A = this chain, B = another copy of it.
Amino acid sequence: MFRPHHMLLVKLGGSVITDKMNYRVLREDVLDRLAGEIAGSGEPTVVVHGAGSFGHVIASKHGIQNGFRDTSQLMGAAQVMEDVRVLNLAVTSALVRSGLPAVSLPPSALARLSEGKLENLDVDAFRRYLELGIAPVTFGDVALDVRRGFGICSGDQLMEVLARELAPARIIFCSDVDGVYTCDPREDPSARMLEVVDRSALDALPRTQRCADVTGSIFGKIETMLRIAAHGGGSMVINGLVPGRLAAALKGEEVVGTRVVV
């Protein structure tokens, strides 16, 4: 039943499934539709989701990403874990309602960071659930850090380790814009969407255009995507807000988006 070469790896960006401007607000209609598109693929799938407005604000306020400093951070860390679990429960529940059995695999329980890097992830648990026909769902979360006490395990760090270990047939990133742009297209009218991102596209980006967004520069994001894409059959960034685009991308059909090519 489990054919590893057909395994799909999907990232639901926090900006797609949550309203990033409002604390703990879910985009329920978008989530339900995307869950249906994932369930419809019929292939073994691992879902990774970001934290969006359920995680970033409180995590930054308490400096969780820099590790344990003093006990004043503990309630913040616990609040972030609670908030991202509310979101995660909504995601697994939407998948189950769509007919796809799902299991939550939280980084706080099965990951270890070391100085902020994801050093250890129990990928065996992901494999075993996939073999059973249950879709593992993981997410940006607080996690133990063997050097710093705790830290933040991001969705992109999870994507990188899962892509390396599971060698998915396709890797799809769902964003809230059509693909990878030179800058944020909602803020900079000169932003261009890249049809293909590869090493030479990255090198061609002038330093001045490597503008920063909340989770790091586009430069850093492309670097990460290239590393992730190196482990998969095909890798794309698409717009998760457009109905049907994820379903088509999961089937390998041609869709609007940015292909990430190593």
Contact = CB atoms under 8 A, between A and B. Distances in A.
Interface string A68-79: 100100110111
Contact of A144 (B77, B81, B128): B128
Contacts of A68: 132
Contacts of A128: 144
Contact of A74 (B81, B101, B104, B109): B101
A219 interface: no
Interface size class of A (residues with CB under 8 A): 35 or more
B122 A110 contact: yes
A102 B78 CA distance: 6
Contacts of A85: 85, 89, 92, 104
A256 to B, nearest CB: 32
A118 to B, nearest CB: 15
A104 B96 contact: no
Dominant secondary structure of chain A at its interface with chain B: helix
A66 interface: no
Contacts of A101: 74-75, 77-78
Contacts of A142: 103
Interface string A88-109: 0100110010010111111011
CB-CB nearest 7 A-B residue pairs: A78-B101, A74-B101, A109-B109, A109-B110, A78-B96, A105-B109, A128-B144
5 contacts: A68-B132, A77-B101, A78-B134, A85-B89, A125-B144
Given A78-B92, A105-B108, 20 more contacts: A68-B132, A71-B133, A74-B132, A74-B133, A74-B134, A75-B96, A75-B101, A77-B134, A78-B101, A78-B102, A79-B96, A81-B92, A81-B104, A82-B89, A82-B92, A82-B96, A85-B85, A110-B110, A128-B144, A132-B149
Interface of A: 68, 71, 74-75, 77-79, 81-82, 85-86, 89, 92-93, 96, 99, 101-106, 108-110, 122, 125, 128-129, 132-134, 142, 144, 149-150
